[in-house]
Structure 1
Amino acid sequence: MKNQTSITSVLLMSLSDDQKTIHVLFIFFLLIYLMTVFSNFLIILLVVTCAHLHTPMYFFLGNLAVFDISSSSVIGPSLLFHLNTQHWSMSFPECIAQVFFAIYFAGCEVYLLSSMSYDRYVAICRPLHYPKLMSLETCFKIVSLVWSISFVVPLICTLCIRRLTFCGPNFIQSFFCDLPHLFQISCSDAYINILVTSIFGGVIGTVAFVATVYPYVRIFRTVLKIGTSDGKSKAFSTCTSHLTVVTIFYVSVTFIYLIPDTSNLLTLNRVVTVIYTLITPLLNPLIYSLRSKDLKAALQRALHIHRLHPDTTTRR
């Protein structure tokens, strides 16, 4: 059943009423967004062009960079537009589209983090079988599956929204369109819709979380059996970056969606939401770049080549 709605737009919550603060926030978020796009694009470029980075771990990292650029672009440009124009409104179809793609790319990241956990498990616990289990063909299949199955939850959420009636008010307690806030402004009873999306999202999220954490239980057991401290340190070092990214992601999601959105926690919730939607996509490439010797070496080699041949492109 198609929804019947009398509202044509939604009114978003402004991040500040002070003009100077707005200007500062605009510059800050613009820099964050540009740095996010640049750093993630740099990782994609290095993974594609450097032969020694053509491994499963960096193949997954390249896809994570694509998801980070995409998820940041779902919210970043829109937020910058609202900050610059001071018009905190969005058409209803644009709002639904933002909800769909925000959930979609979040799902992609969840499933990809699970895949990266499996990759680390095979590399540490079954190193002799690693070339066979994590072949290039297998990696392509895994990533293709991630891109495909991530459509399920946002599609269900969108269908649930389309079954609701929206007749006003149209004010959302967030600086971007989010599913829980859309349910709150619905004129019809959204209990069934909330129940359906919670069940699907909860089940899929729990499965993805277990699939991410369980390989590390096996990894820790294997690493603890290593006799030398150097061997343990080397094994753990290959997992540190991924564990850090997983921790930041799940802590942010847990706080935003599982902790009640009360007035006492409203400011803190907005801060965590900004970190999750805009800061995390920038932190991911920085974390991997700081921890990965291969990425550092690839970047240094690329800069060295550019210094040796600065006007090759110009001559052509």
Structure 2
Amino acid sequence: MEITIPGFAYDRVGVAEGVALSVAVGGSGPPVVLLHGFPQTHLMWRHVAVELASDHTVICPDLRGYGASDKPADPDGTAYAKRTMAADVVALGRALGHERFALVGHDRGALVAIRAGLEHPARITHLASLDVLPTLDSWEVLRGTAGVAGFHLYLMAAPPPLPETLIAGAPDAFFGHFLDAWAGDPAVIPAEVRAEYLRASRAAIPSIVADYRASAFVDVEHDRADRAAGRRLSMPVTVLQQDWGAALGFDAAARWRAWADDLDHHTVAMGHFMAEAEPAEVVRHIRALLGRPIS
């Protein structure tokens, strides 16, 4: 049985040459786009989306390379650059009739959201990031044995076909490790949703690896260029983040202040999959963000 977000309509929308995204849309009102993380699909927003749809148009795509969206080849290392994926999201909004929209991202989706906010500020009214640091900062804080927590970042940055081959040898063990370790309580991700995440991830190994490989190379280059140029996020920004700083020895809020002019940073204890573990709290923070004035 296919799992869907109740009350949402599903479609495929072309966003680039040869690339269409699968998207769920529900509700009416000011638009907000929700971008999922790894190793998930748009279904991670199933609780949050329904609540927000009471007074917003809620748009939940599968990112390129994930879920039911297209998974183009990556011959030059840029097909899954966050710059490319951010352009997908802007094109999706426009195709659905929204020149401007709020953007909320979790994990990988948050990296796409950050890049969209940096490169398309006229399109993004508000931005929320759930449980990541910007790409360059993530690499800078993962030093020494602290890097063990991010072993998958290093594995999937390796040249092809090594990570693809290794992951394909035991995909459920690999992807399931993160679902189980990061969820903590199995009730956060019900068995049928977990099975769907695993099914979708098995079908997307090359593109998921390409997404992560981009973050070790081309995405870092883009972040470094922006840092050197002083480019910052100009819209209201909300960050919900586990207490990584205490564990890894850095000031997460200070890292974020270097990127965002109007920042509301929260250290939270909701686990990594916070939109599934504590959806009401996530909705509360998103609504507070959407109520902040924009220029």
TM-score clears 0.5: no
Which has the larger share of helix? 1
Give me the TM-score of the superposition, normalised by structure 1.
0.27
Structure with the larger RCO, 1 or 2 (CA within 8 Å, 6+ apart)? 1
Q: Which of the pair has more CA radius of gyration? A: 1
Which has the larger share of strand? 2
